[in-house]
């Protein structure tokens, strides 16, 4: 793990299970209105991380990639809060984005995680946690966490303590 500054963290995951565990640690800390962006090529580990985030969030529903349905909802039984999981891979035009209802989702009190956020970057809030995943080998993925606002910086700091104790 490399802490580059209070807004940037680099980590090398050596297994799917480790990537999921990182997601669990992050999901435990999410609050309504948090936005987590998961960027990376196919096979980089976005869905494994999302699976962990959903589990850490407290949803009994297993997170799966919403590539074909575009949006999945993961409610928490104890308080009814929702974690939206959006896949923007197939979104190419503004009308596609409107069909998904992204503006309504981002304006809601839900937490949101977005795969392929680079397709809609102009619609994203300034304060977001961006996680870039890079496929290195069949068992290794590099994750770079970048916080871009006060809440995401706090979230990243809390995640660093929760996951790594520093």
Whole-prediction pTM value?
0.89
pLDDT tens string for the chain (166 positions)? 566 788 999 999 999 999 999 999 999 999 999 999 999 988 888 999 999 999 999 987 777 676 655 788 899 999 989 999 988 866 665 555 556 677 888 889 999 999 989 888 888 899 999 999 999 998 899 999 999 999 999 999 999 998 888 7
Encoded tokens for 108: 């809601």
Domain 2-164 indexed as CATH 3.20.20.140: no
HEC string for the chain: CEEEECCEEEEEECCHHHHHHHHHHHHCCCCCCCEEEEECCCCCCHHHHHHHHHHHHCCCCCCCCCCCCCEEEEECCCCCCEEEEEECCCCCCHHHHHHHCHHHHHHCCCEEEEECHHHCHHHCCCCCEEEEEEEEECCEEEEEEEECCHHHHHHHHHHHHHHHCC
Model pLDDT, residue 105: 86
Model pLDDT, residue 104: 85
């Amino acid at each position: 793990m490399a802490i580059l500054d209070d807004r940037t963290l680099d980590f090398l995951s050596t297994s799917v299970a480790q990537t999921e565990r990182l997601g669990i640690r992050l999901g435990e800390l999410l609050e309504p209105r948090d936005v987590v962006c998961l960027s990376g090529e196919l096979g980089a580990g976005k869905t494994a991380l999302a699976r962990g985030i959903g589990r850490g969030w407290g949803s009994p529903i297993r997170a799966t990639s919403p590539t074909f349905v575009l949006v999945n909802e993961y409610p928490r039984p104890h308080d009814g809060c929702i974690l939206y999981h959006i896949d923007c891979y197939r979104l190419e035009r503004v009308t596609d984005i409107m069909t998904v209802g992204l503006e309504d989702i981002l304006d809601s009190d839900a937490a949101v995680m977005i795969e392929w956020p680079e397709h809609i970057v102009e619609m994203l809030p300034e304060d977001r946690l961006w996680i870039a995943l890079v496929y290195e080998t069949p068992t290794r993925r590099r994750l770079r966490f970048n916080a871009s606002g006060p809440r995401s910086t706090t979230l990243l700091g809390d995640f660093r303590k929760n996951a790594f104790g520093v």
